[in-house]
A and B are shown apart, each in its own frame.
Chain A
């Protein structure tokens, strides 16, 4: 019989057994015991953010960049509620997290104790699994379950609510090596017959098309995907989460499809006769009007999540499988198909309406993205949410040495900057570039201090148009330029009926360059095209985090665009 140990000791033992070397933690009354235990362990680095929302996005970026489980430790009450947005984000984008929330002692639960909230109840629908530890004897098993559930099957966030007295109570010291959960059996095989049926359909097609979602990136099945494309000669479109599934400069890669997808990609989806999709849930931003989605195609759908299949789009061949396993099997059968004519047709569409921004109005977002492509052929690109994210998704080039991290499902403003810090903490040798807007950047700007403390020397590119541009774009196109609540220069005495920038506009706050400097980071302001490359060159030489503010045209819009609910082939192009 092993000796009894305290819950806090068992917790740290579990982290070590799981190979955790980095945790993201913010202190508070109900986690002081855990933190005190971590104080004794040099093997585990604790990252202290400046806000718990920043903390969980950092853990997400870390998990995405390293493939490891991101571990979060926050206190009860506000500490716990502050991670809710991140939990929802991780749940949507399938990021493996284990989040420990401190909780008031068991005998106080239900008493409206100081900093008590029912965090498990609040997060039930946005976690893969969540539980309050009520018995010290269960702690080892629950921790093992948490790591197992977070990283297997379709990954996701797990929340463990840990009352303070469980942390200090003595109990069994064993951390189980494995755990069997009768209600949780992630799919570890692929139905060969069904997959063969899907492949036969693909092979019979005259205009076959792969639609690839985040599942391929998430399964790290990129090599296999590339091989399959080259063996079958079938062209590829991706969702935003699927971008990078194969290198973006590959001749068979068309581009992103969807609301701000490439013209040729959306038309190809509309015209293909077999759509072979892997790891996408056919989100509304991809399908538009469901009745008009891929109207000429028979659809094969490979996904690890049974519930994602035939939910939004009724498919002809459903296949429940991990992308890796399915691709492995497909590679055994894959034969070249005659797609030359089809490919030429797609290239023709691309020539008709290429992805390109007008260059006669000064510095465009496209130029900035091209600058990033040219200066940073390798590394990790992390974006926030908004117009800049769409431009990045359109113009950023990806290859096998370049990863793209973005908040796709939940669309969380404030995600990008902390996620980039987390990615850098996980991969200190990689160049990490954060692309953000001026709105999203301000949602977690306090994390500049974390970046400094962690020496997370990332380069942050802020595309500043003085607006919350994505919504302003909708106001511009569909609401008669009534820019309510989207102008970030607006002050109390501005006229209510302002229709856009004019000579009377107040100055913009904050001054991002000075702000960066106040944290000890390096700030650069870029106003002209010629300054883009020198700015990047200067940024690369710094030994601190760098913040580059690009002043772009204030009323630039993301094109092409499909209005929500419209067919994907009805694109606004100009």
Chain B
């Protein structure tokens, strides 16, 4: 069992998202995240899907997606050099002055932005990989009592430069 990523080109039509997500629930596939948005061609949407599965199930997932009429193309990103990011907002509440100062330090180290601030709260905006975002959340959780997290799920695109090949992990960090 491991995490795998799929980029899915689908018809930009009513019900397609329901059909794709319904496949995962109907066949008990373990869906981690799914994002969707239109592409440069507005009749086509692209989804980035993360699933946790074994090899056989993953093959089956790709085949099942492929046989849907509305699915135009399935790309397995798992072992491809890709750029992948997830947007995340973290609001930390009930902060002391010292807390705030520390949050600025954390932001600096993690390369995330402080985008808003109040008398006792700080809003961080992160565009990192899911894994890095998880690490950030873990850290915030361990340090602060009241946090509010909103995350968007990962989006990914294939790398341009072939020199990235073999460095896939780097871009996922």
Chain A residues at the B interface, C-beta cutoff of 8 Å = 120-121, 124-125, 128-132, 134, 149, 181-184, 305-307, 310-311, 314
Contacts and interface: CB of A to CB of B under 8 A. Distances in A.
A484 B23 CA distance: 36
A134 B15 CA distance: 12
Contacts of B19: 124
Contacts of B66: 306-307
B23 A307 contact: no
Contact of A305 (B15, B67, B73): B67
B26 A125 contact: yes
Contact of B67 (A131, A134, A182, A306): A306
A131 B15 contact: yes
Given A124-B18, A134-B14, A307 B60 contact: yes
A124 B27 CA distance: 13
26 contacts: A121-B15, A121-B18, A124-B15, A124-B18, A124-B19, A124-B22, A125-B23, A125-B26, A130-B15, A131-B13, A132-B14, A132-B15, A134-B14, A181-B69, A182-B72, A183-B10, A183-B71, A183-B72, A305-B67, A306-B63, A306-B66, A307-B60, A307-B67, A310-B56, A311-B60, A314-B56
B26 A184 contact: no
Contacts of B56: 310, 314
Contacts of A132: 14-15
Interface string B66-96: 1111111100000000000000000000000
A26 B51 CA distance: 44
A129 B15 CA distance: 11
A129 B11 CA distance: 13
Given A124-B15, A125-B23, A183-B68, 18 more contacts: A120-B15, A128-B69, A130-B15, A132-B14, A132-B15, A134-B14, A183-B11, A183-B69, A183-B70, A183-B73, A306-B63, A306-B66, A307-B63, A307-B66, A310-B56, A310-B59, A311-B60, A311-B63
A131 B15 CA distance: 8
B63 A129 contact: no
- Which of A134, A306, A314 is most buried by chain B, counting CB atoms within 10 A of its CB? A306
B39 interface: no
Contacts of A125: 22-23, 26
Contacts of A311: 60, 63
Interface string B40-80: 00000000000000001001100110111111110000000
B64 A307 contact: yes
A496 B59 CA distance: 50
A184 to B, nearest CB: 5
B113 to A, nearest CB: 39
Nearest to B15: A120
B13 to A, nearest CB: 8
- 5 interchain residue pairs of minimum CB distance: A307-B63, A183-B72, A129-B69, A184-B69, A306-B63
A131 B68 CA distance: 13
- Which of B22, B63, B71 is most buried by chain A, counting CB atoms within 10 A of its CB? B63
Nearest to A305: B67
A187 to B, nearest CB: 10
Interface string B1-35: 00000000011011100110011001000000000
A134 B13 CA distance: 11
A473 B69 CA distance: 42
Nearest to A320: B63
A185 B18 CA distance: 22
Nearest to A129: B69
Contacts of A305: 67
Contacts of A129: 69
A217 to B, nearest CB: 21
A531 to B, nearest CB: 49
A310 B62 CA distance: 13
Nearest to B19: A124
A307 B67 CA distance: 8
Nearest to B70: A183
Contacts of A184: 69
A125 B10 CA distance: 17
Nearest to A311: B60
A182 B83 CA distance: 27
